[in-house]
Structure 1
Amino acid sequence: MNLKKLIQGLDIVSCEGETNREITSIHYDSRKCQKNSMFIAINGFNTDGHEYISEAIENGATTILYKNEVNKKQSHITYIKVKNSRLAMATLSNRFYDYPSKKMKLIGITGTNGKTTISFLLGEIFKQWGVKLGIIGTLGNYLGETLYKGTHTTPESVDLQQILHQINEEHIPYTVMEVSSHSLELNRVEDTNFDIGIFTNLSQDHLDFHKNFQNYFQAKAKLFHMTDKANIINGDDIYGEKLISLSKGREIPVYSYGIKNNCDFVAKNIKIDNKGAFFTVNIENNSEGFYINIPGIFSIYNALAAIVLAYTEGIPLEITRKALSNLPGVPGRFEMLDTNTPYGIIIDYAHTPAGLENILKTIREFSKGNVIVVFGCGGDRDKGKRPIMGEVAGLYADFMIITSDNPRNEEPLSIIKDIVPGIKKTGKPYKIIEDRKSAIKSALAIGKKDDIILIAGKGHERYQIIQNEIIPFDEKKIINQLLGEGEVDAKDD
C-alpha cells in the first residue's frame, strides 16, 4: 500500500523522508520486519520498541513510526512521529487490511470471568447451525476448525486486523472475540466495528494496571459504545446494572440476562449436579429447558449469554438446546479428569477471587468428602487480590496447598506470603509447597475416597513463566505421570 495514502489523516507530529513509497507489511516486532515494511515502535510492559529501530531497519523496514525521540536517523528511511503510537498502529492496521471487521458480524465478549466459556458455547451453537465461526481469545484463534496459537487474550491491533482479514479470506461470516480490558485501554481494538457486545461480570483483577475498579469498569464499558446492533448484559452484576443504565441512551437494543433480578432472560427451575446444570428460560411466552455439561451457577450465566446471542441472531432454539447439551466442556474450565482414582481431580483456570469462589462453591455443593485446593497467584500482577484469594479458598475448601503459579519476575515465596494472611483469617489448615509439581503430588497423596482435589490457576496453560523463561508445564500430563508411575498411592479409605 502507498505510504502517503496509508498515513492520510493520521495525527502526525513530524514526517521526515519519502512518503511516495510502497509498504508491504506493518510490524511492531523488529524481528518480523522485511523489505519495505513499516516498523511501529511502541512501549510494551517489559521492552521499549524504540530500542529496536536499528534492528528493524537491518531487517528491511523503510518506514519508522514512533512516539519518543530517535537520535540517529538514516537518510533513506522515512521517520513519522505521532502523539500516540498505539492509536496510530490501530488506525494504520485497519486501513492496511481494508477494514476487515466491517465485512463480517463481529461479537465482542468482555468481563472478568466467563469469556472463554461463552466463546466455546457459541462455537458449538454455530457448528450445529451449520455456520462457520471465527473465535479470537485466550485459548488461541480458531478459523472454523483450525486453531492458531495466540499470545494475548486480545491480539495487538496489527495481529488482530491480520486475523480478521484472514477470517474474511476464509469466507467465515461471524467472529466471536474475547475483548480484554487491556485491549480496550491500549487501543488494540480501536476502529474495529463490533456488531454485538456481551458483558459477563466484573470482579477484582488487573488492578495493577487499572489502579482501581472505576478505571477497570470504564475500560470494559468502552466496548458497549463501539457496538452498532445490540448489547447483551448480565443484569445480576452490579456493574452490569450500571452498564445497562449507560446503554439506555444508545439507539440499539439492550438485552439483560440473569437469575435473581428482573431481566429480559431469566433462568428458573435450576437443578445442578456434579455433571452439569438444567434450567428453564421464558422465551416468547414459552418455558424452554436447557442443559449444559458444566456444573455451577456460573455455568448457567455463561449459557444464558450464549442463548441470548443465539436468539438475537435467529438461531432456532432446538439447535441452541442441542449444542449446549452436546459440548463436553471447555479445556481448563471445570475440567474433571478421568484418572480412576477414588477421589475426583478438577483442573480450572480460576485465577481471580470471584473465579475461585465460583468453582469452590460448586464443588462444595456435590462433594461428599473433603475439598482440597492447590493454587497460587501470578507475579507482576494485581497484588491486592492475593489475600482475598487466600480468604476465599479458606472459606470454601477444607485444606489448601499454596504454591507457585506464574511468578514471572517475583520471588514465588514472596507471592505466597501475600496469600497467607487471607487464609489465616479463616483458621483453615494449609501447607506451603513452592514447587508446583511437588504441590500437586502432595495433594494427590493426601486425597481420600470421595474427596475433590482442585488444581486452580493455570487451566489450559501448558507452561509456567519464571523470570523471562517460558517453561513447559502441562498439569494433565504431570498428574497422569504421578499416578501412572506409582509416585502417588491413591487412598480408598
Structure 2
Amino acid sequence: MITYTQQDYLNTLTKAGLIIDSNLYGHDSDAIQGLTYNSKEATAGTLFVCKGAAFHPQYLADAVFSGATLYVSEQKYELDTKVPYILVSDIRKAMPYLGKLFFNDPSKELNLIGVGGTKGKSTTAYYVKAIVDDYLASIGKKESAVISSIDVYDGVTKVESHITTPENIELLQHFRNAVDSDIDFLEMEVSSQALKYNRVDQITFDAAIFLNISEDHISPIEHPDFEDYFSSKLKMFAQTKHALINTNSDYFERVAESAKDAENVITFGTKPGSDILGYDIKKIDHEIHFRVSCDRFDEDFALTMPGLFNVENALAAIAAAYVFNIPVKFMKSGLYRARSSGRMETYMSADKNVIAVVDYAHNKLSFDKLFSSTRKEYPDYDIISIFGCPGKKAVIRRHDLGTIAGMYSKKVYIVAEDPGAEPVEQISKDIAQYVEAQHCPYEMIEDRGEAIRKAIMTSEGKSILLITGKGNETRQKYGSEYLDCPSDVEYTKKYLAEYDASHQA
C-alpha cells in the first residue's frame, strides 16, 4: 500500500475546499503511517482525527504521546509541543478524503453492493452473499466480504456488529482488508445515518438496492423528521452505477425519480412492469415458492428461510446478481440455502404446540410484515410477542411496535432491548400504554431469558412466539457499555428443551 506525506493530506483537503488553517511546522515530507480517531490506536506516524461531540483535548494529547505526528480537527488545540495540524470546516466531510488517500481507495478494486431501506437490509445482504458465494466457489474464488448490522467479515476479521454502517475510517479498513485478502465482492448495509453523516462519501457502489421506506429513526439524536430520514436514504443513488429499486415500496415515484441520479436503473418487485418480476408466490410445507420473470429467464425459485415478505428481499438479490451476470443456477442455489443469523430462525416443540421465531424485526415496517405474515402462515396459532425498544432513540417505535404487537398478540412480554442510559422500566411503560390501548394483556419482564422461559412454559394450546429485536446478538447495551449475555436463540433452544422434558408422555 502506498504511503503519503503530510503535505499530500493537506493538498487533498485543500482541493476538497475544506481547509481553514494549517501548519505542518516543516514536516511536509513526513510519511503518515496510521489513521485513527481512537487515541488508544495511535502509534508512531499516526494522523489523528479529532471528532465527535464527546471529544476531549486529552484524547489528542494521549495520541501525540503515543506517536501521532499530525492532527486534523475543526479547531486548534494547545499542546506541550508543536504538533502539525490541519483545521477543516467539517470533520465528517474531511474523513472520507483522509480514508480514501490513506487506504489507497480500495472500493474501486471491489464489486461493491450497497443495501438500503427501512426493513430487510441484513436479510438481503446475506441473500446476495449466498448467491455470490455459490458463483465464486464455482470459479475457484474466495467468498465475498460482508458488512452488516449482524456481523462483519472482511477476509481478516469476523466480528459481531454494533452499528449498521461503520465510520468511514473503519469502513475503508474493511475494504482494504478485503482487497488484500484477494476478495472480489463485498455486500454492505447502508444506513440513513451513514448517508447523512458522510460515512460513505467518496465511495461508488457498483449496485445499490433500495428496498422500502417507512418512518423510523426519528429522534433528536438521529433524524428530526421523516423528510430528513427519507432524503438521507435517497442520497445513495448519486454514488452508484446501478440503482435497483422495489416497485412495491411506498413513495415509489419519488424513489424512482431520485434513482435517475444513478447510471442505470433496474426495478424489481411483484407489481406488473417490474424488470425483475416475482409472481405465483405460495407456501409449500415450510418453503416459500415463487416464479421470477425477466428478459433473460422465467424460472421457479424457493426459499427455505420463512416469511412470505422475504420474496421481495430475494427479488432484490436476484436483481443484484442480474447486474453482475451471475448465472440463474447460482441465484437458485444461493437463495435456497441462504440464512441470516438471527433472522427468522424457527424452532418447534416436540408436540408442535409451541413454535418460536427469533428475528431482528425492530421497526414499524418489519413488525407489520412479520406479524401479518405470521397470521397468514400460521392461522391456527395464537401469537405471543416478546420485544422491547432501545433507549434514547427512535422513540416512535414504542408507539408503532406496541400498537402492532397489541393488535395481533394474545399476550405481549415487554423486555430490555439495549436500553443504554434510559431506565428499562420507563421504556417498557411507554410501550405498554400502546399495547394496552389494543386491549391486549402484557407483562413487563426486564430479563429476556426469563420472559422467553415464561412465554414457553405457560403457553396454552397452539402458540407461536415472535421473539424480536436482538436475534443472535450476545450483548446488551446498558449505559455506554455492552454487556455479554446469552442470545435469544440460545434462550429459545434451552427453554424449548425444558418444555419438551416437562411434556413427555
- TM-score class, shorter-chain normalisation, is over 0.9
Specify the SS of the correspondent of 2:164: coil
In the alignment, does 2:399 pair up with 1:387? Answer: yes
The AA in structure 2 aligned to 1:67 is: E
1:270 & 1:256 partners in 2: Cα distance? 18
Q: Is the 8 A contact 2:47 2:71 kept in 1?
A: yes
The AA in structure 2 aligned to 1:29 is: N
2:35 counterpart residue number: 26
Specify the SS of the correspondent of 2:251: helix
1:240 & 1:50 partners in 2: Cα distance? 47
1:100 & 1:390 partners in 2: Cα distance? 43
Deviations 1:11-52 (A, max 9, x none): 2111134342221101011111111111101115xx225451
1:105 to 102, 107, 111: 111
2:342 counterpart residue number: 332
Deviations 1:426-483 (A, max 9, x none): 2122222233222222211222343111111111211111122222222222334445
Q: How does 1:471-482 map to 2 (within 5 A)?
A: 471-473=483-485, 474-482=487-495
In the alignment, does 2:61 pair up with 1:54? Answer: yes
1:243 counterpart residue number: 255
1:416 counterpart residue number: 428
In the alignment, does 2:321 pair up with 1:310? Answer: yes
Work out the number of aligned pairs and report it: 486
In the alignment, does 2:181 pair up with 1:170? Answer: yes
Q: Is the 8 A contact 2:307 2:344 kept in 1?
A: no
The AA in structure 1 aligned to 2:129 is: G
2:5 to 2, 5, 14: 2
1:59 & 1:297 partners in 2: Cα distance? 54
In the alignment, does 2:79 pair up with 1:73? Answer: yes
> Displacement of 1:281 after TM fit?
1.5
Q: Is the 8 A contact 1:448 1:490 kept in 2?
A: no
Q: Is the 8 A contact 2:244 2:316 kept in 1?
A: yes
Q: Is the 8 A contact 1:334 1:359 kept in 2?
A: no
The AA in structure 2 aligned to 1:7 is: L
In the alignment, does 2:443 pair up with 1:431? Answer: yes
> Displacement of 1:146 after TM fit?
6.5
Specify the SS of the correspondent of 2:472: coil
Task: State which drifts further: 211-220 or 290-299.
Answer: 290-299
The AA in structure 1 aligned to 2:125 is: S
1:246 & 1:466 partners in 2: Cα distance? 39
Q: Is the 8 A contact 1:236 1:261 kept in 2?
A: no
> Displacement of 1:264 after TM fit?
1.8
1:69 & 1:51 partners in 2: Cα distance? 13
Q: What is the identity percentage for the equivalent residue pairs of Structure 1 and Structure 2? A: 29
In the alignment, does 2:447 pair up with 1:440? Answer: no
> Displacement of 1:355 after TM fit?
1.0
2:499 & 2:111 partners in 1: Cα distance? 51
1:488 & 1:416 partners in 2: Cα distance? 31
Change (3 A) 1:251 1:212: closer
The AA in structure 2 aligned to 1:215 is: D
In the alignment, does 2:281 pair up with 1:278? Answer: no
Unmatched tracts of structure 1, length 5 or more: none
2:171 to 151, 160, 163: 160
> Displacement of 1:271 after TM fit?
0.2
The AA in structure 1 aligned to 2:83 is: I
1:257 counterpart residue number: 268
In the alignment, does 2:98 pair up with 1:92? Answer: yes
> Displacement of 1:155 after TM fit?
1.4
Task: State which drifts further: 347-356 or 427-436.
Answer: 427-436
2:354 & 2:455 partners in 1: Cα distance? 11
1:145 & 1:257 partners in 2: Cα distance? 34
Specify the SS of the correspondent of 1:238: coil
Specify the SS of the correspondent of 1:263: coil
1:128 counterpart residue number: 134
2:45 to 21, 29, 36: 36
Q: Is the 8 A contact 2:342 2:489 kept in 1?
A: no
2:287 & 2:367 partners in 1: Cα distance? 18
In the alignment, does 2:219 pair up with 1:210? Answer: no
Q: How does 1:460-475 map to 2 (within 5 A)?
A: 460-473=472-485, 474-475=487-488
1:242 & 1:151 partners in 2: Cα distance? 31
Q: Is the 8 A contact 1:339 1:480 kept in 2?
A: no
Q: Is the 8 A contact 1:113 1:201 kept in 2?
A: yes
Q: Is the 8 A contact 1:272 1:295 kept in 2?
A: no
Deviations 1:409-432 (A, max 9, x none): 001111112112321232122222
Deviating beyond 6 angstroms after TM superposition, the runs of 4 or more aligned structure 1 residues are none
2:6 & 2:327 partners in 1: Cα distance? 47
1:260 & 1:53 partners in 2: Cα distance? 55
Say what the alpha-carbon RMSD is for the aligned residues: 2.2
1:74 & 1:221 partners in 2: Cα distance? 46
> Displacement of 1:9 after TM fit?
3.5
Specify the SS of the correspondent of 1:9: helix
The AA in structure 1 aligned to 2:224 is: K
The AA in structure 1 aligned to 2:346 is: M
Unmatched tracts of structure 2, length 5 or more: none
Change (3 A) 1:388 1:492: farther
2:470 counterpart residue number: 458
1:302 & 1:452 partners in 2: Cα distance? 23
1:61 & 1:51 partners in 2: Cα distance? 13
Query: Under a length normalisation based on structure 1, what TM-score does the superposition of the two structures give?
Result: 0.93
